[in-house]
Chain A
Amino acid sequence: MSFTTIIYLAIAVMVFASVLYNMLFKETKVVDKISCAMILVCLILRIFMIK
C-alpha cells in the first residue's frame, strides 16, 4: 500500500468519523440523518478498499 493511499484512507476515516458523529449527536431531522447514512455507505466501502 502506497503512502498516498494511507493518507487517503486516513482522510476517509476522519470524514467517516465526523459524519457519524454528526449523525448521532448533531442532526435532528430524519432527512439529514438519512443523508449522513448514505454518505457513510460510500465511505465504508472506500475505507475497506472494496469500491
Chain B
Amino acid sequence: MKKKGILSTCIILAIAIVCAAIAGNSFYQKRHFVEDIVTEGTNVTEVFKLSRYNKNLKGTVGDTKVYVIKGEEDGGSVLVLGGTHGNEPAGHMAAIVMLEQLKVTKGTVYIIPSINASGLTHNDPLEGSPQYMHFTTPSGEQRVFHYGSRATNPIDQWPDPDIYTHTSGQSLSGSETRNLNRCYPGIKYGTLSEQVAYAVTKMINTEKIDMEIDLHESSPEYAVNNAIVAHERAMNVAVGAKVELEDREIGMRLEPSPVKLHGLTHRELGDFTDTYALLLEVGNPSQGRFRGYTDEKLVITGEDPCYVKGYELGLLYVDYSSGNFPLSLRVARHITTIEELIASYNGSLDDEDRAIVVENWPDYQEMVDTDDLGLYLK
C-alpha cells in the first residue's frame, strides 16, 4: 500500500470509528434509559412485575412493571395498557399521568404504562423519530420519557419470519411478529411479544379483571381515529361512554372489533377472557405519512403544516382546523374516555359489589386549555 493510501485509509477509518462511537453511544443510552415513574406521594398501593403471570419473562426486558391502585373497599377491576406501540406516546403518557394522579376508593385499577417495554428502547428506522420526550413538572423538575417504536426491539426478538402465522392461522407480514398487538392471546414459550401477551391474558383471567383498555394512537388520515374499538360483549359499555362523551362535546367514533382480525387486544382478550375488551385511538400527527419535519416538538404540539393542507383537502379523520393536535389533548381524550368507560361500566352493573370508584380525574378542559402535560406529572 502506498504511503498516500495508508494515510487516507487511516483518516477514513478514524472517522468511521468516531461515527460508530457517537451512534453507538446514542443507541446504547436509549436502550438502557430507565424512566423515573413516581410512586411516592401517589395512591399506588403495589408495584409488581408482569413475570408473576409468565415466569419466562423473568430477567428479560419484557418483564415490565404493573402498578396497582387499590381502593379501601373491594369492588371490580380495570386494567389500563399503555405503551403497546412506543411511537404512540399518548397511551404511554396517559397511563403515567393516571397512576400518578388517580385515587381509587372502591375496586382496583391496574396500570401497565410500558406494556411493550422493549418497543420503547429503540426507534423505527428511517422515521426520523425523536428518542425522548421532555416535560417540566410544577416543581420545575424536568422529566424524560421514551418515544419508541411500534415493534419489539429486534435485539430482543429476532429473526422475523417471512410470514407471521398467528395461533388462529391468520397470516401477516413477518415484521408483525414483533407487533405486540398482533400477538394476543399469546404463547407461554413463544417469542418475547407472545410471552408478554400471554402474561396479560393470564393476568386478566387470574385477577378476574372486569374491563381492559388498551391505549393507542393512529395517523390522522387513518379512518379508525378518535375512536373506541369494542369487543361485542363490551359494546354496551362503550355506547354508554360514547353518549356521555358526546354530551361533553368530545367526539369519539365507535368501532366494533372485527371478528376475523386476530391478535389484537379488543378481539382476543374479549374471546379468551371474561373481560370487557376495549381499545382507544386518538389522532397523532407525528405518526402519519403526511407529516413533514419530525421532531419532539411535533410529538408534543402536533403542529404540522402538511396536516393543515391535508385537512383543507378533506383527507383527515380528525378535526385539524386549529392547526394542531397536541399531546395534552390526546392524553386528555384518553383519560376522559377511560373515566366515562368506568362510569358506563358501573351503570351497567346489576351487582354494585363489582363497581369501580375512582377520584382525582384530571379535568379534560383544564388539560386542553393549559396545554402542558408536565403540570399533571409529579
Contacts and interface: CB of A to CB of B under 8 A. Distances in A.
Interface residues of B, number: 19
A45 B9 contact: no
A30 B19 contact: no
B12 A44 contact: no
B155 A49 contact: yes
Given A24-B1, A41-B19, A33 B9 contact: yes
Contacts of B20: 40-41, 44-45
Nearest to B6: A24
Contact of A33 (B8, B23, B24): B8
Interface in B8-47: 8-9, 12-13, 15-16, 19-20, 23-24, 27-28, 31
A34 interface: yes
Nearest to B4: A30
A5 B156 CA distance: 10
B122 interface: yes
Contact of A30 (B12, B23, B28): B12
A37 interface: yes
A28 to B, nearest CB: 7
A3 interface: no
Contacts of B9: 23-24, 33
Given A37-B15, A40-B16, A41-B16, A50 B24 contact: yes
Interface string A12-39: 0000000000011100101001101110
B330 to A, nearest CB: 29
A30 B24 contact: no
Counting chain B CB atoms within 10 Å of each CB, which of A4, A37, A45, A49 scores highest? A37
Interface string B135-162: 0000000000000000000010011000
A17 B23 CA distance: 20
A25 B8 contact: no
A4 B157 CA distance: 11
A14 to B, nearest CB: 18
Residue among B9, B16, B31, B158 with the most chain A CB within 10 A?
A: B16
Interface string B178-216: 000000000000000000000000000000000000000
A38 B18 CA distance: 12
